[in-house]
Amino acid sequence: MELAQLAVFVRPPTAGKVKTRLAALFGERGAAELYQAFVEDTLRLCSRVRAAGRVDVALWSAGPEDDIVSEWANRMGVPGRLQPEGDLGVKLAAAFEEGLRHYERVVIIGSDSPSLPIEHIGAAFDALEEAPMMLGPANDGGYYAVGASHSAQPSFQGVRWSTRHALRDTEKANAQRQIAAITPWYDIDEPEDLAVLRAHLSLDPAAAPATARHLIELARAQR
């Protein structure tokens, strides 16, 4: 059995289908292009994680075959996997079932935290050496990362997704397991989240270079 897998969930960057709550600021096309920049930075993080140690990468797409998603998969040198129908719990369960067949530890992240530090990913895998399950709390009551070791298939029964209850519901669904928590981070869903992201990138644009560039382009277009 291999050591570790980092799985990332993405969506085809289709206008009107991604980051819809940001469309009021940038329009549907602008929001989709910004999401594409989020993914570019997330894949850059995955490449850095893979280069740093014995971690393989998996790419799970929420949509049908898409040229941009195929390009992302080709760039990473991995096959694009299609997330099954159902809520996020169904999709996560499928990714863990697949990953834990082959890896001792699996960590899954989304593509809504383009500035996520590589140290947080390292901490996520380290946490799974001490506990069978790991959660990375997000600022909105959900989580930006979830992980499990080969000894535990997480449960997502009864989780109220896209609410402030998602983290607590997941902890409740796995009450019989020891769960390690790593440092919280923020993700980008609502217009007000952009203020945090912009403040961060104004100090450290290298934290998410594709996103930083695109936010500058969007600001220029709105002048």
> By C-alpha distance, which of 124, 114, 115, 113 is closest to 53?
124
- Please tell me the distance from the alpha carbon of residue 182 to that of residue 193, in angstroms, as a whole number: 21
- What is the H or E stretch that residue 133 is in? strand 133-137
The SS3 of residue 51 is: helix
Percent of the chain's residues with pLDDT above 70: 99
The DSSP symbol for 204 reads -
- Enter the pTM of the model: 0.96
Quickly state the pLDDT bin for 160 (edges 50, 70, 90). very high
Residue 219, pLDDT > 90, answer no
Tell me what percent of the residues of the chain surpass a pLDDT of 90: 92
Confidence of residue 2 (pLDDT cuts 50, 70, 90): low
> What is the per-residue pLDDT across 165-201, written as a single tens digit (0 to 9) for each?
999 999 999 999 999 999 999 999 999 999 999 999 9
| CB burial of residue 49 (10 Å; 0-12, 13-18, 19+) | buried
Q: What is the pLDDT of residue 125?
A: 97
Whole-angstrom distance, CA of residue 199 vs CA of residue 136: 22
Q: Is 145 helix (H, G, I), strand (E, B) or coil?
A: strand
Whole-number pLDDT of residue 223: 66
Q: For residue 1, is pLDDT > 60?
A: no
Residue 207 has pLDDT above 80, yes or no: yes
Average pLDDT of every residue of the chain:
95
Mapping DSSP to helix (H, G, I), strand (E, B) and coil, where does residue 109 land? strand
Token look-up 């896209």 returns: 162
CA distance 16 to 20: 6
pLDDT score recorded for residue 69:
95
pLDDT confidence of residue 65: 75
| pLDDT, tens digit (0-9, with 9 covering 90-100), for 85-139 | 999 999 999 999 999 999 999 999 999 999 999 999 999 999 999 999 999 999 9
Q: What is the pLDDT of residues 6-54, one digit of tens each?
A: 999 999 999 999 999 999 999 999 999 999 999 999 999 999 999 998 8
Instruction: Please report the pLDDT score of residue 54 as a whole number.
Output: 87
Which CATH superfamily includes the segment(s) 2-221? Spore Coat Polysaccharide Biosynthesis Protein SpsA; Chain A (3.90.550.10)
Measured between alpha carbons, how far is residue 9 from residues 25, 46, 48, 60, 216 in Å?
24, 12, 17, 5, 26
How many helices, marked H, and strands, marked E, lie in the chain? Answer: 7, 7
Reported as a single tens digit per residue, the pLDDT across 41-65 is 999 999 999 999 889 999 999 987 7
Q: What phi and psi, each to the nearest 5 degrees, are found at residue 30?
A: -65, -40
